Amino acid sequence: MNKQSAANIATKHTQTRKIPVWLKVIILPLWVIGILFLSQLIFSNLFRWIIPQHILTYPWVQSLYIIISDVVALLIIILVPNYLEKKHHITKKESTRKILGLLDLLTWKDILLSFIGYFVYLFLSYLLFRLFSAFPWFNPDQAQDLGYTYSLLFGIDKIITMLALIVVVPIVEEVLFRGFLYGKLKRIMLSTFKKRAELLSILFSTLIVSLAFALLHGQWNVGVDVFAMSVVLCIMREISGSIYPGILVHIIKNTLAFFVLSSLLR
């Protein structure tokens, strides 16, 4: 058997093993959320094993845990699929940077769009909160437990906590959700609905990404708020072609939340 024949057989064998679209749509969000939780679980236990209990309660240690677990999860989520695609000789129509929405550098348009997007997100979040407040099981005032007492954050604790919550978390979450997950889902949807249904692809991808992002945050009130933010950030990615405006909105949101809570609890 010559090399050409062997290559043809391998190609046909690969084509017969194509994953159904519906299964890809289920697997991708589960892959992102699952690896994030798994990374947190592994490093949480690792920290408990190697760090003395009295030091483990320090805010800077908890923040360091968030930074490490999020960055490791980011690398696994993005690099493993890339490795598998190369191993199985799957030709990508788009580069990884394009899928992630990281092709170009930050522009003034991105900065302006981020400020507009922030206020649009606040308005949409307000509308959804009004809607969900009609249900007796929804508590809009439930506090989000991040494991910190903001009023006790000083010095190195405050610096590393700010680095984790205001810089690392927004960048990691945007790259994974509005970058990797949205980019992959939209590519799948476009191949299913074809070019004539690009709007449908955007709608489905936005809905799935936003539901997955809300699920990641657990609580109903926080989930509703971040669902609204995710919808706006997905639209902003379509407008700008990048996730930079989304990263800026996420940073603005977390920065304001951090300093408002710090001042209220002081």
Cα–Cα dist 61/186, whole Å? 38
pLDDT at site 195: 58
Q: At what angle do helices 108-132 and 220-240 cross, to 10 degrees?
A: 150
* Local confidence pLDDT in tens for the 266 residues of the chain: 554 554 454 444 444 467 788 888 999 999 999 999 999 999 999 999 999 988 888 888 999 999 999 999 999 999 999 888 888 766 666 788 999 999 889 999 999 999 999 999 999 999 999 999 999 888 887 777 666 555 556 788 888 989 999 999 999 999 999 999 999 999 888 887 765 678 889 999 999 999 999 999 888 889 999 999 999 999 999 999 999 999 999 999 999 988 876 665 55
pLDDT at site 19: 76
User: Tokens standing for 12?
Assistant: 């046909």
Structurally, how many domains does the chain consist of?
Answer: 1
The span from the first CA to the last CA of the chain, in angstroms, equals 77
Q: Residue 135 is inside which H or E element, if any?
A: none
Residue carrying the six token digits 């939209």: 186
Cα–Cα dist 125/127, whole Å? 5
Count CB-CB contacts under 10 A for residue 92. 12
Main-chain dihedrals φ then ψ at residue 88, nearest 5 degrees: -95, 10
The 3-state DSSP class for residue 38 equals helix
pLDDT at site 225: 95
Cα–Cα dist 205/191, whole Å? 13
pLDDT at site 265: 52
pLDDT at site 11: 47
Range of the domain at 58: 3-264
pLDDT at site 192: 76
pLDDT at site 13: 47
Which candidate, 184, 10, 209, places its Cα nearest to that of 80? 184
Q: Note if the pTM is more than 0.75.
A: yes
Cα–Cα dist 52/97, whole Å? 41
pLDDT at site 152: 56
